[in-house]
Amino acid sequence: MEKHMAVCPYCGAGCKLNLIVENGVVVDAEGIDGVTNEGELCLKGMCGYDFINDTKILTPRILHPMIRRTKGGPLERVSWDEALDFTAKKLMAIKEEYGPDAIMTTGSSRGPGNEANYVMQKFTRACIGTNNIDNCARTCHGPSVIGLMDTLGSGAMSVSIPNMEKADCIFLFGYNPSASHPIVARRIVKAKARGAKLIVADPRVTESARIADIYMPIKNGCNLAFMNAFANVIVNDGLMDKEFVDAHTNGFDEWWKVISKYTPEYVQDITGVDPATFRRAVHMYAESPNSIIGWGMGVTQQNQGVKTVHTIAAIACITNQIGRDAAGVAPVRGQNNVQGSCDMGMWPSLFPGYQKVADPKARAKFEQAWNLPEGFLSGREGFKLTDVPHGAKSGEIRAFYNFGEDPVQTEPDSTDMIESLSKLDLFISQDIFMTQTTALADVVLPGTSWGEHDGVFSASDRTFQRFTAAVPPKGECRHDWEIFADLSTRMGYPMHYNNTKEIWDEMRELCPNFYGATYEKMEGTGHAQWPIPTLDCPGTPTLYKGGQFTTADHKAILMAHDYIKPTETPDEVYPLVLCTVREVGHYSCRSMTGNCRTLTALADEPGEIHMNPADAAARGINDQDIVQVKSRRGSVYTRAIIDDRINKGAVYMTYQWWIGKCNVLTMHQVDPLSGTPEDKHSACQVIALPDQ
Ligand code: SF4
């Protein structure tokens, strides 16, 4: 047996493991002593390696390139030469006729790694000539990136995952770590065992809520009102650190003009939290020596996601609960390399290393490094991933190059997404599995799987870690970065790399905050946490020490906004709030975990809808019944799970299931400041079926 060091491909916790290979087949995984996981793994890390072996449980691996010669015709197996020549010719024709901004690409926040993403964004910007590139952060933590960059200067976690267990108080808001990041949940449990206080605000009684010192069962869709009131109590109850506010923030007076009316009593009907409990929670957070606020998609997938993050950041600043190892903000990222996709510039306004495309100096630097004529790179912010449906239907986007995403499964309003993709002149999908999205493509390109290539992932807390290949590529699969470089060369912008290290070193030279993160530092269980600007820098687990924010004048900018209701609220026809959530044993669109034997045995089709006993009884629904769920977008059938941890008036579905797909029901309504869909709040009805 051989052991090959890897980083788990399933969430931003960044757990290190060995893949164990026997006779060329990955047969097991074991946790090793990584900086975030200390040898531990969760269910997915332990049992989630199987898909590499092409088990064909849910869908087969794609093992060779395919094209459709005519729109709507069959997918035909072709050689790599034919597939790439076909793609290059079509992309060049579209660029010639409609301009580079008619082409949209994506990064992949899953298995491919940072190097593949870097080459994809270089292909998009330097070969095609557009900033139309985005990644799945748009659908999840985009509001955290934007909201924190606006206020503090950096869009990432300010603390490290290991240091979370040193906090004296952890406040989890709209975040269910036991399902999303079990190894982060372990840190929280360890903190609690050490004596830390735990505050949880969530509509559902999550695992964290069960062990919380204060649990606040908030109403769905109340976030900004809740956080504004939290900030209000800090000021009114004398919990603010005025000296810190005066020295390290801007905008307090304007901020207070908005916040001053949001008392807990004023928002009680919106939040559902009694003012006494509310005040106890605020005091616990503000008076603890070191407090961390952690949040997830309960905050971000709302119509006021960015605005809520502005208030969360302000709360950390006015209480001086930031800039220390165990005091700060923790938006824990979902997919394993979604932090890396953002680090690598898979973002329509940012080059790698968070350098703005609008900055002429940054453009000039990248032009010189990439051998481009002066003025070639665009300063226009590109389209967002959630612009694709409208852009495809309006004709503004004519070609879409999807790299390792599955928007039909994971983006809202699947029916509309399928119709939109059918309008494109050219739809390319590069993936390892024939997902519901890839099955619609005109060109299908097989990349290598996690386990078949090496590279660097970024964990959620800005930690770069190396992973290695365990087995050779299956079939005719090629490394993603090789595919992009080959295609780019065929389109007249030659790119050639011999290995991922050459790509990584090119990227480091261009990104000052990443320069010291060499492959050598990341050998074995080594890691490098950015900012890491020099070769002798050990990395930076904690941002903003001494109140030094990374804004222009190093002061935080306090921003406040009034609360508005969610876009779609329950009514007589659709009386229940529908909220999408995660299932601990499965991941994203489920193409990977759905092809793992153990994980599939633990939870299989058709998915579930979780509902409160009173709502079920009112509809004559029993536990395990098959029910119909309807919204303004569509209808699905699924199994009802009656669960008293669910709040009355709301139902919860995971978005992973191919049958009973909940994104048939969700709506394409986005936070206007981030373009992130409002997946946590739409309206639906659940209907009992006769004769069960
Ligand atoms: Fe993988 Fe996340 Fe589980 Fe760690 S916590 S083993 S990174 S899924």
The full DSSP string for 365-389 is: HHHHHTT--TT-S--S----GGGHH
First and final CA of the chain: distance in angstroms?
A: 51
Residue 280 has pLDDT above 80, yes or no: yes
pLDDT (0 to 100) of residue 587: 81
Average pLDDT (344-349) is 96
Nearest C-alpha neighbor of 215 from the set 233, 199, 193, 231: 199
- d(CA 136, CA 121) in angstroms, rounded, equals 14
- d(CA 113, CA 666) in angstroms, rounded, equals 30
Residue 632 has pLDDT above 90, yes or no: yes
Q: Which atom of ligand 1 is closest in space to residue 181's alpha carbon?
A: 5
CA 113 – ligand 1 centroid, Å: 16
Residue 658 has pLDDT above 80, yes or no: no
CA 8 – ligand 1 centroid, Å: 6
In Å, the largest CA–CA distance within the chain is 71
Buried b (16+ CB within 10 A) or exposed e, 563-574: beebbbebeeeb
Asked if residue 168 lies in contact with residue 290, where contact means CB atoms within 8 angstroms, the answer is yes
Tokens linked to 39: 């040898």
pLDDT, one tens digit per residue, over 230-248 is: 999 999 999 999 999 999 9
- d(CA 231, CA 261) in angstroms, rounded, equals 11
Q: Which atom of ligand 1 is closest in space to residue 183's alpha carbon?
A: 5
CA 431 – ligand 1 centroid, Å: 22
Average pLDDT (55-61) is 92
Strands 103-106 and 76-77: unpaired
What's the chain's length in residues?
A: 692
Any idea which of 503-517, 519-533, 596-610 has the lowest mean pLDDT? Answer: 596-610
Asked if residue 232 lies in contact with residue 263, where contact means CB atoms within 8 angstroms, the answer is yes
CA 506 – ligand 1 centroid, Å: 29
Average pLDDT (134-160) is 92
pLDDT (0 to 100) of residue 570: 96
pLDDT (0 to 100) of residue 692: 64
Nearest C-alpha neighbor of 668 from the set 474, 413, 387, 431: 413
Residue 318 has pLDDT above 90, yes or no: yes
pLDDT (0 to 100) of residue 335: 86
Q: Which atom of ligand 1 is closest in space to residue 40's alpha carbon?
A: 6
**Pocket flag, ligand 1, residue 8 (CB < 6 Å):** yes
Q: Which atom of ligand 1 is closest in space to residue 14's alpha carbon?
A: 7
Phi/psi of residue 479, nearest 5 degrees: -60, 140
**pLDDT band at 605; cut points 50, 70, 90:** low
- d(CA 317, CA 354) in angstroms, rounded, equals 23
Q: Which residues contact 62 (CB under 8 A, 6 or more apart)?
A: 431, 432, 433, 434, 438, 444, 446, 477
**Pocket flag, ligand 1, residue 37 (CB < 6 Å):** yes
> Rounded to the nearest 10 degrees, what angle do helices 480-490 and 114-122 cross at?
10
- d(CA 592, CA 579) in angstroms, rounded, equals 23
> Rounded to the nearest 10 degrees, what angle do helices 142-151 and 305-318 cross at?
40
CA 508 – ligand 1 centroid, Å: 27
CA 15 – ligand 1 centroid, Å: 6
Q: Measure the CA angle with vertex 519, ends 517 and 525; round to 5°.
A: 95
Task: Identify the bridge partners of residue 682 per DSSP, sorted by sequence position.
Answer: 578
Dihedral over Cα of 560, 547, 142, 102: its sign: positive
Residue 584 has pLDDT above 90, yes or no: no
Asked if residue 104 lies in contact with residue 397, where contact means CB atoms within 8 angstroms, the answer is yes
Q: Which residues contact 670 (CB under 8 A, 6 or more apart)?
A: 303, 386, 676, 677, 678
Asked if residue 47 lies in contact with residue 596, where contact means CB atoms within 8 angstroms, the answer is yes
Name the closest-CA residue to atom 2, ligand 1.
11
Buried b (16+ CB within 10 A) or exposed e, 355-393: bebeeeebbeebbeebebeeeebbeeebbbbbbbbebbb
**Pocket flag, ligand 1, residue 332 (CB < 6 Å):** no
Q: pLDDT above 90 covers what percent of the chain?
A: 90
**Pocket flag, ligand 1, residue 13 (CB < 6 Å):** yes
pLDDT, one tens digit per residue, over 67-110 is: 999 988 999 999 999 999 999 999 999 999 999 999 999 999 88
- For the chain, the structural domain boundaries read 2-53, 66-139+337-529, 142-332, 576-688
Average pLDDT (319-341) is 94
Average pLDDT (220-225) is 97
pLDDT (0 to 100) of residue 139: 85
CA 445 – ligand 1 centroid, Å: 28
pLDDT (0 to 100) of residue 606: 62
66-139+337-529 is classed CATH 3.40.50.740: yes
Q: Which of 10, 338, 527 has most ligand 1 atoms within 8 Å of CB, for mutation?
A: 10
Dihedral over Cα of 299, 302, 307, 311: its sign: negative
Average pLDDT (327-347) is 93
Identity at 78, one-letter amino acid code: V
Q: Which residues contact 278 (CB under 8 A, 6 or more apart)?
A: 216, 229, 230, 233, 264, 271
> Rounded to the nearest 10 degrees, what angle do helices 223-236 and 264-271 cross at?
160
- d(CA 346, CA 361) in angstroms, rounded, equals 19
Quick check: ipTM above 0.90? yes
pLDDT (0 to 100) of residue 590: 82
Grouping H, G, I as helix, E, B as strand and the rest as coil, residue 606 is coil
Identity of the highest mean pLDDT range in 153-157, 222-226, 334-338, 657-661: 222-226
pLDDT (0 to 100) of residue 690: 84
- d(CA 357, CA 379) in angstroms, rounded, equals 5
- d(CA 469, CA 451) in angstroms, rounded, equals 5
What is the architecture of the domain spanning 2-53? Single Sheet (2.20)
Nearest C-alpha neighbor of 450 from the set 91, 164, 48: 48
E strands within 536-585?
Answer: 556-557, 576-581
* Topology of the domain covering 142-332: Dimethylsulfoxide Reductase; domain 2 (3.40.228)
- d(CA 5, CA 135) in angstroms, rounded, equals 26
Identity at 671, one-letter amino acid code: D
CA 565 – ligand 1 centroid, Å: 35
**Pocket flag, ligand 1, residue 9 (CB < 6 Å):** no
Residue 272 has pLDDT above 90, yes or no: yes
CA 170 – ligand 1 centroid, Å: 20
Identity at 147, one-letter amino acid code: G
Residue 604 has pLDDT above 70, yes or no: no
pLDDT (0 to 100) of residue 607: 72
Q: Which atom of ligand 1 is closest in space to residue 587's alpha carbon?
A: 8
Residue 217 has pLDDT above 70, yes or no: yes
Asked if residue 557 lies in contact with residue 550, where contact means CB atoms within 8 angstroms, the answer is no
Q: Which atom of ligand 1 is closest in space to residue 43's alpha carbon?
A: 3
CA 180 – ligand 1 centroid, Å: 9
- d(CA 222, CA 649) in angstroms, rounded, equals 14
**Residue appearing with tokens 């923030």:** 249
**Pocket flag, ligand 1, residue 29 (CB < 6 Å):** no
Grouping H, G, I as helix, E, B as strand and the rest as coil, residue 341 is helix
Tokens linked to 351: 């080059």
> Cα–chain-centroid distance for residue 281?
28
Long-range contacts of 465-468 (CB under 8 A, 24+ apart): 465/7, 465/14, 465/16, 465/34, 465/35, 465/522, 465/526, 465/527, 466/5, 466/7, 466/519, 466/522, 466/523, 466/526, 467/5, 467/6, 467/7, 467/113, 468/4, 468/5, 468/6
CA 173 – ligand 1 centroid, Å: 21
Determine if the peptide bond prior to 531 is cis (ω within 30°).
Answer: yes
Dihedral over Cα of 530, 536, 542, 545: its sign: negative
**pLDDT band at 656; cut points 50, 70, 90:** confident
CA 410 – ligand 1 centroid, Å: 20
pLDDT (0 to 100) of residue 70: 92
Strands 350-351 and 76-77: unpaired
Average pLDDT (327-338) is 91
Tell me the HSE value of 330 on the side-chain side, using a 13 A CA sphere: 39
Q: Which atom of ligand 1 is closest in space to residue 17's alpha carbon?
A: 6
> Rounded to the nearest 10 degrees, what angle do helices 480-490 and 80-98 cross at?
60
- d(CA 122, CA 102) in angstroms, rounded, equals 17
Name the closest-CA residue to atom 3, ligand 1.
42
Asked if residue 629 lies in contact with residue 686, where contact means CB atoms within 8 angstroms, the answer is yes
CA 686 – ligand 1 centroid, Å: 33
Q: Which atom of ligand 1 is closest in space to residue 182's alpha carbon?
A: 5
Dihedral over Cα of 91, 94, 99, 103: its sign: negative
Q: What is the mean pLDDT of the chain?
A: 95
Asked if residue 79 lies in contact with residue 52, where contact means CB atoms within 8 angstroms, the answer is no
Any idea which of 112-126, 505-519, 589-603, 663-677 has the lowest mean pLDDT? Answer: 589-603
Phi/psi of residue 436, nearest 5 degrees: -65, -30
**Pocket flag, ligand 1, residue 582 (CB < 6 Å):** no
**Residue appearing with tokens 């008392």:** 263
**Pocket flag, ligand 1, residue 44 (CB < 6 Å):** yes
**Pocket flag, ligand 1, residue 408 (CB < 6 Å):** no
DSSP annotation of 544 reads S
pLDDT (0 to 100) of residue 657: 78
Q: pLDDT above 70 covers what percent of the chain?
A: 99
Pick the CATH number of 576-688 from 3.40.1000.10, 2.40.50.100, 2.40.40.20, 3.40.50.11540: 2.40.40.20
